[in-house]
Amino acid sequence: MSAQLLQFLLSGLTVGAIYALVALGFAIIYNASNVINFAQGEFVMIGGMAAAAFIDSGLPLPLSVLFSVTLATLVGLLLEKLAVEPARGAPVVTLIIITIGASILLRGLAALVWDKKIHPLPAFSGEAPIAVGGATLLPQALWVLGTTLATVAALWWFFNRTLTGKAMLAVSHNRLAAQLMGISVSRVLAVSFGLSAALGALAGVLIAPISFTAWDVGVMLGLKGFAAAMLGGIGSGPGAVAGGLALGLIEALGAGYLSSAYKDVFAFIVLLAALVFLPNGLVGRRAAERV
Amino acid sequence: MSAAAQPSASRRGFLALALIVALLPLALPNNYTYEIAIVVGLNAIVCVGLNLLIGYAGQISLGHAGFFGLGAYGTAILAARYGWPPALSLPVSVLAVAALAWLVGRPVLRLKGHYLAMATLGLGIIVSVVLATEDRITGGPDGMAVPPLWVTGEKSWYWIVAGTLLAVVWLAQNLIDSPRGRAWRALHGAEIAAGAVGIDAARHKLAAFVLSAALAALAGALSAHYAGFITPSRASFLHSIELVTMVVFGGMASTLGAVLGAAVLTTLPQLLAVFKDYELVALGALMMLTMIFMPRGLVPTLEKALDAARRKPR
């Protein structure tokens, strides 16, 4: 394997891991509420921007990360309580516009509370690149990959081994039946928004030392996460991770070998092809429509 | 509203719109207000078409700014780079976009719901990136100059856009009351049931998609010649979202609602500009509040309130 190819694969996996975290957020909210949350990218932005602000105010890095993820989680809970809950049962387009409105609102607030400048974040453990078989790897990329791996493992444990996680799966399968078994659907909804926001913010903090952060980074990251979730098959956890990594690799290889200006386009062309030829995503189940 | 009363109601709505459009110049004091009225009209043309697709045929599109941008760049490139007269480049550009929409619509419209939303969103992003990147033809992110149409000046443009808008509204209202419109509503309600009574769902969806794309391209081409300059931002994802928001805000499945939605959401940012830094916050909050409290949109909600008031015994 040439060093160049290895380099593209490594950077593709790093970005792909971030897309996977955002896509997991989409999937969790979609499963609990059938809502596609277009404000998902703003959680990524809040994570990065808040962490940068906390560090500027003199807090140590671990505390800054903790506080910024907590802040985003609170925003996620508020979004669910104030905007999604009151509109329950509204048509799909209406819900899409509510979450787009929320993303515009959050972007505006971020520009007001912080500013419209681009903020760097210090790397978690130094900037010295590590040589891997002729390619180089930033220590921060290891943080991204490791944290994503740990998060996916933790999520697996949460959804398969805890009562709350199982309740969330039950609601995603059949909301009414879950409710009849005594599961509080409104609590499941709240948890799903909080959890997705935390995942998004984590992604934002992890990627900020590599690609910087700003008040408007959420738009593209959110769309890529949505694309990754769709590529994997919406609502599927393993699908979201696979979709995210695939999207990251496609982008890195396309940008490296074909054209860096069209980086964003390759992802969407592959996505369109996948949607047309595999209408249920990579691992999505074939849905039967009830008439 | 009973089915028999509908034609006369839409006819009344059309006359009211025509009257407003004809009298509006009396209330427009300067060129700046004319400019806003023209932009409202152009957005309304897109929204009336998009409403046929979203509100009647029940198919979402988050990429219509792509067709708007292609229509604009098509006529701009033919006129500026190849020296075509705008009277020829404009219709050719609109027809070419319609043909393109027909080609991509066939595979894409087989998708449903969120998958269709994602596919149209992807199409729109591909168009906007291509327009921003092929700078030798399109001028890149900085945009390009567009030769003027045979008319100039805000007042003549107002009448061109107003006339086009009225023609488009008239066309849409007639289509909705035709067998085609009934087929759209049938497949919106229940696609399988519509198929069972002999409605070719794929063909009718494609017709709505192509027509709405052509109208978006028409508005795009007109706006390019009117402004004399275009940038790829007109084809961006955010512009697509603005267009869908106008349709839903005004009220889905209401042609006049689409016009009203375009009018309110085009003028609103001008009014919100007084909030300066708070503009985005105000816009986002407004979008959320209207959708939470009026999920069916402005016009249907008002109609229902009027209806209820009329029925109340005195």
- pLDDT at A291 exceeding the cut of 70: no
Residue of B nearest to A274 (CA): B119
- The answer as to whether B1 is a domain residue is no
DSSP A284: P
Low-confidence ranges of chain B (pLDDT < 70): 1-8, 313-314
Nearest to A188 by CA among A86, A284, A77: A77
Measure the CA–CA gap between A99 and B52, rounded to whole angstroms.
23
d(CA B295, nearest CA chain A) in Å: 6
In angstroms, what separates the C-alpha of B62 from chain A's closest C-alpha?
10
| A95 or B104, higher pLDDT | B104
Question: Chain B contact for A112, CB < 8 A?
Answer: yes
Q: What confidence score (pLDDT) does residue B4 get?
A: 47
Q: What is the pLDDT of residue B104?
A: 93
The minimal CB distance from A275 to the residues B118, B237, B287 is found for B118
Q: How far is residue B64 CA from its own chain's centroid? A: 8
Domain A3-277 has CATH 2.30.30: no
So what's the ipTM on this one?
0.82
DSSP state of A116: S
Helix (H), strand (E) at residue B165: helix B154-176
User: pTM to 2 decimals?
Assistant: 0.87
A-interface mutation test, from B116, B286, B291, B298, most A Cβ less than 10 A away:
B291
- Domain contains B282: yes
Q: Which of B193, B284, B288 lies nearest to residue A108, judging by beta carbons?
A: B284
Whether B22 is in a domain gets the answer no
Over residues A201-208, the mean pLDDT reads: 93
- Residue A261 pLDDT level (bands cut at 50, 70, 90): confident
CB B44 within 8 A of CB B216: no
In a domain? residue B168 = yes
CB A140 within 8 A of CB A147: no
Least CB-CB distance to A94: which of B108, B237, B295?
B295
Average pLDDT over residues A249-261: 89
Number of domains in chain B: 1
Residue B286, in any domain of the structure:
yes
B8 within domain boundaries: no
> Which A residues, 166 through 205, put their C-beta within 8 Å of a C-beta on chain B?
none
User: How far apart, in whole angstroms, are the C-alpha atoms of residue A104 and residue B233?
Assistant: 17
Domain extent for B47:
34-311
Output phi, psi for A130, to 5 deg.
Answer: -100, 135
Per-residue buried b or exposed e for B231-257, using 16+ beta carbons within 10 Å of the residue's own CB: bbebbbbebbbbbbbbbbbbbbbbbbb
B270 min Cα distance to partner chain A (Å): 17
> Per mean pLDDT, which range of A41-45, A98-102, A124-128, B98-102 is the poorest?
A124-128
pLDDT (0 to 100) of residue A281: 63
CB contacts, 8 Å: A109 with chain B: 281
Q: Alpha-carbon distance B289 to A102, whole Å? A: 10
Which amino acid type is present at position B73? Answer: Y
The verdict on residue B277 lying in a domain is: yes
Please give the structure tokens belonging to residue B210.
């192509």
* pLDDT at residue number A92: 77
By Cβ distance, the residue of B107, B110, B288 closest to A101 is: B288
Torsion B44-B48-B53-B56 (CA) sign? positive
